[in-house]
Amino acid sequence: MNRAITLLFIVVLVSGCGNRKDTAQRIPVAEVGKVVLYYDELPQLIQKGVNESDSIALIQNYINRWAKRELLLQRAEDNLSQDIKTEISSQIEETRANLVIYQYQRQMMLEKMDTVLTETELENYYAGNEKSFTLNSNIVKALFIKLPSETPDMEKIRNLARSNNQSDLQQLESICYQFAEKFDDFNEDWVMMGRLSVELPQEIENEENFLRRTTFYESSDSSSIYLISIRDYRLRSTLAPFEYVRDDIKRIIINSRRFEFIQSLENGIYNEALKEKSFKIY
């Protein structure tokens, strides 16, 4: 305990002296073999409002964890075969090389790769690759409303929800802000039908048949009324709408450009080395 109190005193004293880098001499706090843990390697463990005993415990715990890891490392270094050590060194070098190359490629892409995509490019890719955009699930454009069972003037709400008139929908939105537990038009985007189904008290067993015959759906339980107004739908195994896959197309094209850019970068560096005779094959 005396050692911990002394250590805490040292840490508090040095902490009060300003930035760690201003310390004239590194202060050792623990040692394992020839490896020393210095004060400036400790994380900021002491915080305002933490009492002395808690601060001591934090420091001791950190030092104990550091010592256990260092002892294990040294034991491993002493007992692993040279072949394994050589393999580890090779893996470390390979990892370092990959990280350096990745960061350089990333820097070059940020500086020089064209990431601008026009709407025409996106539409042309969609038109030329329709077979790649088959839906795996049923999707809808829909309005979903969940209301308390005691909500007044439900018939008016039903009529407004069925309407495509913009003023009716604005009136509906105003009413729902007052009474609805949930009101969502999903920003008028396409969404998977399953996203709506999970909101309902009863399961929709056959989504395809449901969508073919339903434009407005109402359900209820003991506490709530659920309304769905379906504006449009697409069934699984059919072509996805362009708007639904637009972001996917952007990612595909950008990824393709990224691959081509990296290939061009590698080939350019290779050819430059050949030209300057800084690369030879013996």
pLDDT given at position 51 = 64
Q: Domain check: are 206 and 66 in the same one?
A: no
The answer to whether the CB of 130 falls within 8 A of the CB of 225 is no
Average pLDDT over residues 191-195: 94
In a domain, 254, yes or no: yes
In a domain, 193, yes or no: yes
The angle at the Cα of 98, spanning 95 to 100, to the nearest 5 degrees, equals: 110
pLDDT given at position 42 = 80
Q: What confidence tier does 23 reach under pLDDT thresholds 50, 70, 90?
A: very low
> What is the residue-averaged pLDDT of the chain?
89
Average pLDDT over residues 52-80: 88
pLDDT given at position 205 = 87
Q: How far apart are CA 172 and CA 161, in angstroms?
A: 7
Q: What confidence tier does 277 reach under pLDDT thresholds 50, 70, 90?
A: confident
Q: Domain check: are 216 and 269 in the same one?
A: no
Q: Domain check: are 213 and 254 in the same one?
A: no
The angle at the Cα of 179, spanning 175 to 185, to the nearest 5 degrees, equals: 65
pLDDT given at position 47 = 55
In a domain, 86, yes or no: no
Q: Domain check: are 45 and 177 in the same one?
A: no
Q: How far apart are CA 169 and CA 161, in angstroms?
A: 7
The answer to whether the CB of 239 falls within 8 A of the CB of 135 is yes
pLDDT given at position 84 = 95
Residue 1 pLDDT greater than 80, yes or no: no
Residue 235 pLDDT greater than 90, yes or no: yes
The residue ranges of DSSP E strands in the chain, in sequence order, are: 28-32, 35-38, 139-148, 182-184, 191-192, 216-220, 224-234
| CATH of residue 171 | 3.10.50
Least trusted range by pLDDT, from 5-14, 134-143, 212-221: 5-14
In a domain, 105, yes or no: no
The answer to whether the CB of 75 falls within 8 A of the CB of 65 is no
Q: Domain check: are 159 and 204 in the same one?
A: yes
pLDDT given at position 246 = 97
The residue segments making up the domain with residue 252 are: 119-129+240-275
Q: What confidence tier does 149 reach under pLDDT thresholds 50, 70, 90?
A: very high
Residue 32 pLDDT greater than 50, yes or no: yes
The tokens of 17 are what?
A: 């002296």
